[in-house]
Structure 1
Amino acid sequence: MAQDAFEEIAETFEFLDDWEDRYRHVIDMGKAMAPLEDALKVPATKVDGCASQVWLVPRIEGEGPGAVFTFRGESDAMIVRGLIAILVALYDGLTVAEVLDVDAGAEFKRLGLDAHLSAQRSNGLRAMIQRIRQTAATARGA
């Protein structure tokens, strides 16, 4: 089951009939995110595999499977910033064990984004999800 913030996004997407409206909504979510400080935009936080510049900055509070995962992110592409906002809604505040239980592909399919993203954007999204999952797996001790 997805978090409440993600469920709100899914409900909004059901209400928006037109894909242009959905894209605008995704872009607006990205615009609403606070930007990362330049000091956090370093090679260690950069996500490889994305056509645009993407940085994810995770934070783990606690230890083991119960440690809480939070993160911030940014991209130089507005649609990707919006995808990061959706990922925040999906993962932020979960335990690292819960992060690993999330089927991000299925959740994005519920939004219909899987069918409407370019191949490059889809690859970038997968790279961001992989980075999140690797971070959680490392924190969990797997």
Structure 2
Amino acid sequence: MTIKEQQDAIISDFEMFTDWMDKYEYIIQLGKDLPIIEEQYKTDDNLIRGCQSKVWLHADYKDGKLFFSADSDALITKGLVSLVIQALNGQPAKDIAEAELYFIEKIGLRSHLSPTRSNGLLAMIKQIKLYAVAYQLKSSQN
């Protein structure tokens, strides 16, 4: 699936819920279902700066595509990083670097997050895009 298709699937999933408490429960469940980052990657280098909670994000580059694993010490934050990973995981670095993540606005997430959580979400996206740019440059030099 493309990034657009993944985002459209996320939007479709959220359309099933009319109440924001149900949406939060779903986000928390996504966090619980997120494959845990290997303990060796829970380092300061993989901590996302700008998040109030601790969020670790690791990227692997295989066959021209980026694969992410993550963890957080806060359930809702873990769910948020899970959503972003769901939209971008397994995609080419160039596509990730250029992606516009419209699903955040479409599911109403931006207006339902506290300013600190919203900043944390932006920091996660920024870090993923930085990984994508770095891997793009690295692969163009090979």
- Counterpart of 2:104 in structure 1 is 108
Partner amino acid for 2:62? E
Q: Is the contact between residue 41 and residue 55 of structure 1 (CA under 8 Å) also seen in structure 2?
A: yes
- Counterpart of 1:2 in structure 2 is 3
Q: CA deviation at 1:6?
A: 3.6
- Counterpart of 1:128 in structure 2 is 124
Gaps of 5+ in 1: none
SS in 1 for 2:27: helix
- Counterpart of 2:47 in structure 1 is 46
Q: CA deviation at 1:18?
A: 0.2
Partner amino acid for 1:68? K
The 4+ residue runs of structure 1 with deviation greater than 4 A are: none
Which of 55, 63, 68 is 2:65 aligned to?
Answer: 68
Residues matched between the structures, number: 137
Q: TM-score, normalised by structure 2?
A: 0.89
Pair 1:97 & 2:98 matched? no
Partner amino acid for 1:46? L
- Counterpart of 2:25 in structure 1 is 24
- Measured in 2, the distance between the counterparts of 1:69 and 1:35 equals 16
- Measured in 2, the distance between the counterparts of 1:83 and 1:128 equals 9
Q: Is the contact between residue 3 and residue 89 of structure 1 (CA under 8 Å) also seen in structure 2?
A: no
Partner amino acid for 2:16? F
Q: CA deviation at 1:3?
A: 4.7
Q: Output one character per residue of 1:28-52: Cα deviation in whole Å (capped at 9) or x when no partner.
A: 0100112223221101111111000
Q: TM-score, normalised by structure 1?
A: 0.89
Partner amino acid for 1:32? D
